[in-house]
Amino acid sequence: MIKEKVRVKTFKIDGIDVTGQSNATLLEVANEHGIKIPTLCYFEGLTPAGACRMCLVEVEGSDKLIPACTAKIKEGMEVTTNSERIKSHRKMILSMIFAERTHTCSVCVSNGHCELQDQAVDLGLDHSEVPYIHKVFEIDASHKEYIYDPNRCILCTRCVRVCDEVEGAHALDILSRGIDAKIIHDMDEPWALSESCTSCGKCVHVCPTGSLFEKGVSATEMVKKKSIITNLIKTRKER
Q: Which of 112, 179, 227, 231: binder of another protein (CB under 8 A)?
A: 112
Binding part of the chain for another protein, among 86-94, 112-120, 177-185, 193-201 by CB under 8 A, reads 112-120
- Using the minimum distance from each CB to another protein, give the nearer residue, 41 or 94: 94
CB of 209 to another protein, least distance (A): 11
* 84 in contact with another protein (CB under 8 A): no
Task: List the one residue out of 144, 137, 214, 115 whose CA is nearest residue 183.
Answer: 137
- Using the minimum distance from each CB to another protein, give the nearer residue, 11 or 148: 148
Q: Which of 98, 148, 191, 213: binder of another protein (CB under 8 A)?
A: 98
Q: What is d(CA 138, CA 161) in angstroms, rounded to the nearest whole number?
A: 23
- Using the minimum distance from each CB to another protein, give the nearer residue, 2 or 121: 121
Host H or E run for residue 162 = helix 158-162
CB 207 within 8 A of CB 224: yes
Angle value at C-alpha 3, between 56 and 53, nearest 5 degrees? 10
* 216 in contact with another protein (CB under 8 A): no
CB 28 within 8 A of CB 69: no
User: Hey, which residues does 79 pair with through a beta bridge?
Assistant: 13, 59
DSSP 167: I
Q: What is d(CA 152, CA 167) in angstroms, rounded to the nearest whole number?
A: 23
Say if strands 146-148 and 8-13 run parallel, antiparallel, or are unpaired. unpaired
Binding part of the chain for another protein, among 38-46, 65-73, 98-106, 153-161 by CB under 8 A, reads 98-106
* 111 in contact with another protein (CB under 8 A): yes
* 124 in contact with another protein (CB under 8 A): yes
* 222 in contact with another protein (CB under 8 A): no
3-state secondary structure (DSSP) of residue 86 = helix
* 136 in contact with another protein (CB under 8 A): yes
- Using the minimum distance from each CB to another protein, give the nearer residue, 58 or 149: 149
Which amino acid is present at 81?
A: T
Q: Which of 92, 96, 125, 232: binder of another protein (CB under 8 A)?
A: 125
Separation in Å, CA 184 to CA 76, 148, 205, 230: 43, 9, 17, 24
CB of 221 to another protein, least distance (A): 13
Binding stretches for another protein (CB under 8 A): 98, 102-108, 111-112, 114, 117, 120-128, 131-132, 134, 136, 151
